Structure 1
Amino acid sequence: MDILNTIIPMFTVIFIGWIARRKGLISTAFLGPANRLVFHLAIPAMIFRAISQGNFTRDFNPSVVLITLASVLTVFCFLWIAGWAVRLERRRFATVIQSAFHGNLGYIGLAVAYYYLGDEGLARASILAGFIMILQNLLAVIVLQWYGDAESGGIGARRVIMGVAGNPVIVSAMAGILFSATGMPLPIILERAFKILGDLALPLALLLIGAGLTFHLMRSRPMALISSSVVKLGLLPGLGYFLYRFFGVPAGGYLPAIILLACPTATIAYVMAAEMNGDTEFAAAAISASTAFSAVTFTLWLHIV
Structure 2
Amino acid sequence: MLDILLKTLPFFALIGVGFAAGQMRVFTAEGTAWLTKFVFYFALSAMLVKLCANLSLADLFDLQFASAYLLGCAVVYGLALAVAFARRVPLAEAAVEAQCAVIGNTGFLGVPMLVMLLGPQATGPVLLVLCLDMIVFNTLITLIITGAREGRMQASTFKALGLGLAKNPIIVSMALGLAWGATEWPVPGPVNDFVALLGAAATPGALFAIGASLAGRRAERLGVAAWLSFAKLVLHPLAVAICAFWIFDVDPVAAGVMVAAAALPVAGNTYILAAHYGVAPQRVSASILISTAVSILTVTAVIAWVTGG
C-alpha separation between the residues in 2 aligned to 1:76 and 1:140?
11
Aligned identity (percent) is: 25
Q: CA deviation at 1:91?
A: 5.5
Residue matched to 2:242: 242
Q: Do 1:149 and 1:278's aligned partners in 2 also have CA atoms closer than 8 Å?
A: no
Paired residue secondary structure (1:248): coil
C-alpha separation between the residues in 2 aligned to 1:138 and 1:230?
24
C-alpha separation between the residues in 2 aligned to 1:79 and 1:101?
9
CA, structure 1 residues 4+116, in 2 after alignment: closer, same or farther (shift >3 Å)? Answer: same
Residue matched to 1:156: 157
Residue matched to 1:228: 228
CA, structure 1 residues 89+221, in 2 after alignment: closer, same or farther (shift >3 Å)? Answer: farther
C-alpha separation between the residues in 2 aligned to 1:92 and 1:71?
21
Gaps of 5+ in 2: none
C-alpha separation between the residues in 1 aligned to 2:186 and 2:3?
31
Q: CA deviation at 1:120?
A: 3.5
**Count of aligned positions:** 301
Residue matched to 2:51: 50
Q: CA deviation at 1:46?
A: 0.3
RMSD: 2.4
CA, structure 1 residues 216+191, in 2 after alignment: closer, same or farther (shift >3 Å)? Answer: closer
Q: State the Cα deviation string for residues 115-168 of structure 1 (Å, max 9, x = none).
A: 212334234422442233211211221343355699xx9x93322222222221
Q: State the Cα deviation string for residues 71-113 of structure 1 (Å, max 9, x = none).
A: 2233223322332222135554343222212221110111221
Q: Do 1:215 and 1:289's aligned partners in 2 also have CA atoms closer than 8 Å?
A: no
CA, structure 1 residues 300+24, in 2 after alignment: closer, same or farther (shift >3 Å)? Answer: same
Which region of structure 1 is more displaced relative to structure 2, 84-93 or 14-23? 84-93
What's the TM-score once normalised by structure 1's chain length? 0.90
Paired residue secondary structure (1:24): coil
The one-letter code of the counterpart of 1:109 is G
The one-letter code of the counterpart of 2:105 is N
The one-letter code of the counterpart of 1:259 is A
Matched, 1:206 2:199: no
Paired residue secondary structure (1:212): helix
Q: State the Cα deviation string for residues 32-64 of structure 1 (Å, max 9, x = none).
A: 211111001111110110121245544543311
Gaps of 5+ in 1: none
Residue matched to 2:120: 119
The one-letter code of the counterpart of 1:52 is A
The one-letter code of the counterpart of 1:248 is D
The one-letter code of the counterpart of 1:93 is A
Residue matched to 2:285: 284
What's the TM-score once normalised by structure 2's chain length? 0.88
